[in-house]
């Protein structure tokens, strides 16, 4: 079983910080994946400028206390891994296997950027 939430619908956003509100994590799911859309040959309108940055910080709560789960940043433009274009900036990791968890976060755009983001918990 998995669940995917669109936390930033695909659109053009002004530079600034966008908040992902506290969202319940279903019990029994133990991994999380964050995908932020990036530029590809198929769609060069999404985050095309290699000078523009996107930063993120996601937090997960256990027993009501939020702690940083993942944080980082990247630049735009087309990126490749082993000769293949990647369509998202992707962050994956394990979650504590307990009940009553939530995630929340922020995505900060360093310029006006067309992008989108989703969080999948499985």
The Cβ-side half-sphere exposure at 30, using a 13 Å CA radius, reads 4
Task: Report residue 67 as tokens.
Answer: 């702690």
| CATH dotted code for 3-121 | 2.60.120
Please compute the mean of the pLDDT values over residues 96-113 and round it to a whole number: 96
The whole model's pTM is what? 0.93
If you average pLDDT over residues 100-115, what whole number do you get? 97
For the record, the structure tokens of 90 come out as 């992707």
pLDDT digits (tens, 9 = 90+) for 26-41: 999 999 999 999 999 9
Report how far residue 34's alpha carbon sits from residue 29's, in angstroms, rounded to the nearest whole number: 15
| Domain assignments of the chain as residue spans, ordered by start | 3-121
Q: How far is CA 5 from CA 35, 52, 81, 116, in A?
A: 11, 25, 26, 11
pLDDT digits (tens, 9 = 90+) for 44-79: 999 999 999 999 999 999 989 999 999 999 999 999
């Amino acid at each position: 079983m998995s669940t995917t939430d669109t936390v930033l619908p695909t659109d053009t956003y002004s530079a600034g910080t966008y908040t992902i509100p506290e969202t319940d994590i279903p019990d029994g799911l133990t991994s999380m994946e964050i995908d932020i859309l990036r530029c590809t040959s198929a769609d060069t309108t999404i985050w095309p400028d290699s000078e523009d940055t996107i930063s993120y910080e996601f937090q997960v709560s256990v027993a009501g206390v939020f702690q940083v789960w993942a944080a980082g940043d990247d630049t735009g433009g087309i990126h490749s891994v082993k000769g293949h274009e990647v369509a998202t900036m992707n962050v994956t990791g394990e979650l504590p296997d307990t009940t009553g968890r939530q995630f929340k976060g922020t995505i900060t755009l360093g310029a006006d950027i067309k992008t989108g983001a989703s969080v999948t918990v499985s």
